[in-house]
Amino acid sequence: MSSAPRIVPVAVRMMLCLAVAMATIILPKVAASAAPLERTCKAWQALPVTAPDGQQYLVRNKPSTNNNDNGMCVAVTGSAGFTVTKSPGIPTSSTVRAYPYIGTGCFAGACAGSAPTASLPKAGSLGNYTVSWSTKTPTRSGVWNSSLDLWIGPRVGMGTTEMMIWLQYSKPSWWVKLYPKVKIDGANWYVVPHATQPGKYYISFRRASIAHSAKLRLAPFMTVAQRLGVLNASQLLWSVQAGFEIWSGGRGLAVTSFTASS
């Protein structure tokens, strides 16, 4: 035999309904605000990503210091990659507009994960430190290079040497008859220096044949730079970035995978 139904006063029922409604409205807002960003059009915005192996990286919407970025947008794609979804500028530019990247370490106030400074490798003692990355470069996508950007100095944030390793350039390679080549990891690279401020150095290694992906030990590049006098082997490699220097266009350029490990 069932018991008689319990009668709940009207005022209590109204309060219960109101509490349920408030919970329904409030809880999703909390969850949404805690979700990581996956796309940004804000200059210098950093988007944290975690690779399948648990390694933490950073996707960065990095404009050029030339102040000619007209509003680039990037989106995180996959577990360790990004795509340029809006160009930093369509008209031809004599200076770089932006360098969107995915990378390790700390740069300009943003760090990948905890980025412990105590364990940063020295440029002359990298051993088997290897960077692997793959790219997607649509045809007729502007003027750009596909490259690694390596920052070396006595401490995080102080770069006395900037080293770039180019896999591809979207225009003719004007440097071919002007600079020497070296062979590293089975490929030929043109060694192209660039004048910079006193006490600072810039050097780039530009692949003689186009590549859309690479797996490179960094130590041989450091050895060449040290031999040329543009690198102090006792200084720290404090940031490794894979991305694109963009002079014009760039929409659709993508890094589809990235790993950096010793």
Among candidate residues 231, 244, 242, the one with its CA nearest the CA of residue 137: 244
Question: What is the C-alpha to C-alpha distance for residues 238 and 242, in angstroms, rounded to an integer?
Answer: 14
* CB-based burial, 61-86: b 16+ in 10 Å, e otherwise: bbbbeeebbeebbbbbbeebbbbbbe
Tokens found for residue 250: 């760039």
* pLDDT on residue 238: 94
Question: Has residue 47 been placed in a domain?
Answer: yes
Name, in order, each residue with C-beta under 8 angstroms of 199's C-beta and a sequence gap of 6 or more.
160
**Which domain, by its residues, includes 118?**
37-261
CATH code: domain of residue 141: 2.60.120.180
Question: What is the C-alpha to C-alpha distance for residues 179 and 18, in angstroms, rounded to an integer?
Answer: 75
How many domains does the chain fold into? Answer: 1
CA torsion angle 116 83 192 227 (round to 10): 20
Question: Has residue 16 been placed in a domain?
Answer: no
* pLDDT on residue 116: 55
Count how many Cα atoms sit within 13 Å of the Cα of residue 46 in the half-sphere of its side chain.
16
Q: What is the pLDDT along the chain (262 residues), one digit of tens a residue?
A: 444 434 334 343 433 333 333 333 332 332 333 345 699 999 999 999 998 888 999 999 999 888 889 999 999 998 899 999 999 999 989 999 999 999 999 999 899 987 555 568 999 999 999 999 999 999 999 999 999 999 999 988 889 999 999 999 999 999 999 999 999 989 999 999 988 888 899 999 999 999 999 999 999 999 999 999 999 999 999 999 999 999 999 999 999 999 999 8
Question: Has residue 11 been placed in a domain?
Answer: no
Question: Has residue 247 been placed in a domain?
Answer: yes
DSSP 8-class letter at 37: P
Which residue in the block uniquely carries the two structure tokens 């490699």?
237
Question: What is the C-alpha to C-alpha distance for residues 155 and 120, in angstroms, rounded to an integer?
Answer: 9
Alpha helices, DSSP H only, in the chain?
A: 10-34, 219-227
Question: Has residue 29 been placed in a domain?
Answer: no
Question: Has residue 257 been placed in a domain?
Answer: yes
Question: Has residue 26 been placed in a domain?
Answer: no
Question: Has residue 175 been placed in a domain?
Answer: yes
